[in-house]
Structure 1
Amino acid sequence: MKKLHSLFHKRIGMPENETITFEKLADVLERTAQTIPFENLTIIENKTRDITRENLINKMLENNEGGLCYELNPLFYFYLIENGFNAALATGVVYNHAAQNYTKLGRTHVTILIRHEEQTYLIDTGFGSNLPLKPVPLSGETIVSYNGEFRIKKVNTEHGDYVLEMRLKHKDTNWKIGYAFDSRKSITNMQNLYEIQTIIKEHPVSSFNKNPLMTRLTEKGNITLTNTTFTQWADGMVSKETIDEAKFKELAKHHFGM
């Protein structure tokens, strides 16, 4: 097996030589969500690097760090390609629920589209705790995972031709927009990912260049760590703890291996 495949399986706790089929993707996605955190420490610490296949492998599979969408989903894209899937990277615009509008950062969300048996699916490993954990068909069918319900609606707006909608378990009673994306435009140049990283790193309205953030799913919910709070969701119950810098470092190492 290739280097990325073996290292990826080692990181998420799967047999290194196991062949991955479409039917096994849900298991891989769950393991990935529970193992590789969504986090922004390289931005906060001003240690960003060029977005290349080798740098992504080094960061997340050899150094056991996490990343943001423009790192997590490209890494998973390369994993899919190595396992024979017909995959492409696409960009999206995240919906800001506080402002009731799409974010001013523009097309800075990176996601994955795959073709399987004449149907297109969305896969996302880089949307914080809002992960479908299964391929979501663009046909509009609702998929259900332990994280909630997810579906894709066909639209025609300046932000793209589809919208991912979600209803997170224990959190949402109504459907809400995750992000809009364009299935007609795929990322063909890794330079595009570097440009997205630059916007997220430097733009004044970016939420990822202010304070450290780490989050990942757990078997019962999710955990989120910032420099001031540690929040745990478990079986629908939430607990939130105020922390200091020393506690932040302790929790980052214990829960995220960082």
Structure 2
Amino acid sequence: MNTLAPSCGRPRILVVGQDPQVLALVTEEVAACGLDVSGMTVGVAETASSGAFDLVAFGMGVSAETRTELERMISAANPDARFLRTYAPYAASQIVAAVRQPQASPVDIEAYCRRIGYDGPLEPTIETLSALQERHLAAIPFEAIDVLLGRGVDISPAAVDAKLIAARRGGYCYEQNGLFKRVLRAIGFDVDGLVASVLWMAPPGAPPPPRTHMVLRVTIEGAPWLADVGFGSSVPPAPLRMDSSEPQPTSHERYRLLPIGAGLLVQVEIAGEWRSLYDVSPEPLLDSHYELFNWFAAAHETSHFRRELIAARITPDARCTLLGNRLTIRPAHGEVERRQLDADGIERALAEVFHLSPQPDWRGMVERTAARGAFP
């Protein structure tokens, strides 16, 4: 059946993919949820694009060019049709969620742009992505003070917006990249959330830790870009091409992404030496998957966020990092400055360097940090 006829007012759903067997699995599961659904391969969909559809879901195997053309053709016959890009293992749940919860968690783009000091274009281009990433990193510091205080971290959209935008706090990867993902999607970018195993500062020969670091893949005109605003001291200051292993210059260091196993190894060049940051899996995740990772980072006894004060901020001119009581300012060009701070100095650095407002109930943590000193 090539079109979806209205059925008792139910949304008419079309699933477009490459593999007929996978299409059958997905459509059967969606139909079992009581929804009106049909599946078509790309070739069939191209000849049936005038059908009446409310939601069209594309598999990841459908190229960006084909998807764009099909969206244009389907929109001509169905101006109100919505489009969804899915990943086969989660496709049925993504489709059902899109029908039952059609509106993604809203984000106030104007408030976000004010927060990061951005007043430029908001088209889904690499120029916009680069500008937003640069401004985000400069305006919203990396920090996990709530974890250190034993409060945990709520990564729901409402909580993140209240903290990072309204309260002008910082956050760690699930907050930072979760917010950035919603902003980019609201603008019109094609964004996937991924997960990586952090290798930064790991001793040689150490087994890789579990994948817990959230990063983003942004696809622009068919090209995949890595975007990360939540890695702290060595975060890439600009989007990085994921389909090239050549060194990529930025306003600070050079980076490269090397194929390794099924994923990509992200490295940064420091003093002529390539050092590994993290190993990224290409499999896109659902937002709900990050809840477990967030619990681990915030609550597990081995999480370094529970033991040490960490803050970071990067501008085009310098990287600023606070590890314990050691403040490091690394200019893009020039000598590195390092200082050991007392408690008052830590509070001043949090305010003046990282643009945070130290709260009275932070003082005990600050004093303990000053007494303990910098961790290795």
Tell me the TM-score normalized by structure 2.
0.62
Letter paired with 2:122: T
Q: Tell me how far apart the structure 1 counterparts of residues 241 and 186 of structure 2 sit (CA, whole Å).
A: 22
Q: Tell me how far apart the structure 2 counterparts of residues 43 and 69 of structure 1 sit (CA, whole Å).
A: 13
- 1:142 aligns with 247
Q: CA RMSD in A?
A: 2.0
Deviation, structure 1 residue 104 = 5.4
- 1:176 aligns with 275
Q: Does 1:19 align with 2:122?
A: yes
Distance 1:104 1:144, change over 3 A: closer
Q: Tell me how far apart the structure 2 counterparts of residues 249 and 240 of structure 1 sit (CA, whole Å).
A: 16
Q: Does 1:233 align with 2:337?
A: no
Letter paired with 2:165: L
- 2:189 aligns with 85
Question: In 1, are the aligned partners of 2:153 and 2:298 still within 8 Å (CA)?
Answer: no
Deviation, structure 1 residue 227 = 4.1
Q: Does 1:202 align with 2:299?
A: yes
- 1:253 aligns with 351
Question: In 2, are the aligned partners of 1:94 and 1:180 still within 8 Å (CA)?
Answer: yes
Instruction: Answer with 1 or 2: which has the greater Rg.
Output: 2
Distance 1:128 1:53, change over 3 A: same
The residue correspondences of 1:1-258 to structure 2 (distance < 5 A) are 3-15=107-119, 18-20=121-123, 21-101=125-205, 105-140=209-244, 141-156=246-261, 160-167=262-269, 171-183=270-282, 185-190=283-288, 192-234=289-331, 235-258=333-356
Question: In 2, are the aligned partners of 1:11 and 1:35 still within 8 Å (CA)?
Answer: yes
Tell me the TM-score normalized by structure 1.
0.88
Size of the aligned set, in residue pairs, is 248
Q: Tell me how far apart the structure 1 counterparts of residues 294 and 344 of structure 2 sit (CA, whole Å).
A: 29
Percent of matched pairs sharing the same residue: 23
Distance 1:233 1:189, change over 3 A: closer
SS state at 2:268 partner: strand
Higher relative contact order (CA 8 A, sep 6+): 1
Question: In 2, are the aligned partners of 1:105 and 1:199 still within 8 Å (CA)?
Answer: no
Deviation, structure 1 residue 98 = 4.0
Unaligned runs of 5+ in 2: 1-105, 357-376
Deviation, structure 1 residue 220 = 2.2
Most deviating of 67-76 and 21-30: 21-30
Structure with the larger helix share: 2
Structure with the larger strand share: 1
Q: Tell me how far apart the structure 2 counterparts of residues 3 and 106 of structure 1 sit (CA, whole Å).
A: 30
Q: Tell me how far apart the structure 1 counterparts of residues 256 and 117 of structure 2 sit (CA, whole Å).
A: 28
Unaligned runs of 5+ in 1: none
Question: In 1, are the aligned partners of 2:138 and 2:314 still within 8 Å (CA)?
Answer: yes
Q: Tell me how far apart the structure 2 counterparts of residues 251 and 136 of structure 1 sit (CA, whole Å).
A: 30
Letter paired with 1:151: R
Distance 1:202 1:102, change over 3 A: farther
Distance 1:145 1:85, change over 3 A: same
- 2:4 aligns with none
